[in-house]
Amino acid sequence: MNKHWEVFKTLWKLQMENYRKDIFNLFSGWIITIITLIVWLSFKDTSVGSNSIKYDPFVVASAVGVSCIRNCLFNFIRTLNEFKAKNFFNRIFSTRVSKTFVFFSLIIFNHVINLLVSLIIVAIAMLYKDQRMSIQDVNWIMFISGYLLLVIMCNMIAFIVAFTIKKTEWALAIGNIYYYGAIFLLGLGIPYKLLAKNEFIIYISYIFPQRYALNIMDAGWINSSNMSYPDFDQGFGYGGHTWIPYLVSIILIMGSLILVTIIFNKSFEFENRKYKRFINKNKHLGIIYTIKRASSVNDLKEIIKVRNEINKSNETIILNKQKSLAKKYWKLKKNSASKKGDNNEGI
């Protein structure tokens, strides 16, 4: 337990360092989201008359959703690529620490940061009287369920992009496409009513898998349980069927999870289940795997350290087993001797 806690703390420290190293790149997306939200809430109407453009009543939910895409997809891709570049995963998976624990720790940190940013966005929105009134009617079950579906989906997509795209620049470019696409096509940068006038743009928005979960959040914010939109006949485009975005989101998450599992099995072959019963063989295969991918002398030094730790742990395990067997042997011998003594007394 203590060992896992130390690994957990180390992983969180490493991620926090990544955030501190490039604050502008990581937080520029959030700043754009917050500024866009403030502009809409402050100026409300862009012009006077029948052609005036008004922000959507769920603009706060859209801002929270877009920030989720920025953090749980783009920033998470960046974190995973940083660890890959440092050969971190190969080194840590050569030890007894499981992949599940490592990735779970990374996801938890990512979600904590995301929750903090989401709360900041909502807090900023509460500075405006109309938003303080609208939050009283929010359908929190829909909003929170949409939020959870969105962050999980973004994390799954981030894993797929990070472990299939070799070049970091291309991986981050894909992350930015998802982020800026969400800003302009999912109800933050451009009001949804305005976008809906062009069917071609709406069809393009369906390409973004986050659309479905974000629509659930938007509908929840305006308490529209049937996915309708006030004073807009088309609604969110599901014909009043709330189950459609839920079903599509769950299918996308399950499909992504299966794909992530396949990618992990290929990326970390030495931890396949067929080697689980051969503990020492598994570890040595891991060392061979990391040696092949070492690109510098420092990498090789780190691998040697890991190997020494493994050998040390193996010696400890063997010694403990020998002690345990010795105790059992002397206990059995003592019991048999006492039984013989009892038999002699009986005679």
- Whole-number Cα distances in Å, 296 to 14, 149, 293: 21, 41, 9
Question: What is the average per-residue pLDDT within 69-89?
Answer: 86
Q: What pLDDT sits at residue 276?
A: 46
pLDDT tens for 167-215 read 888 998 998 888 888 888 887 888 887 887 777 887 888 888 998 999 9
Average pLDDT, whole number, for the chain? Answer: 78
Contact 103, 8 (CB under 8 A): no
Torsion of CA 164, 183, 193, 211, to 10 degrees: 30
Continuous H helices in 126-198: 129-134, 140-164, 168-185, 192-196
Backbone angles phi, psi at 235, to 5 degrees: 60, -145
Minimal CA–CA distance to 148: which of 225, 27, 249? 249
Of the candidate ranges 209-213, 217-221, 318-322, the one whose mean pLDDT is the lowest = 318-322
Of the candidate ranges 5-9, 111-115, 220-224, 312-316, the one whose mean pLDDT is the lowest = 312-316
Backbone angles phi, psi at 229, to 5 degrees: -125, 125
Contact 268, 89 (CB under 8 A): yes
pLDDT tens for 229-260 read 776 666 777 878 889 999 999 999 999 999 99
pLDDT tier, 275 (very low <50, low <70, confident <90, very high otherwise)? very low
Residue whose structure tokens are 């063989």: 281
pLDDT tens for 11-49 read 888 788 777 776 766 667 778 888 889 988 888 655 555
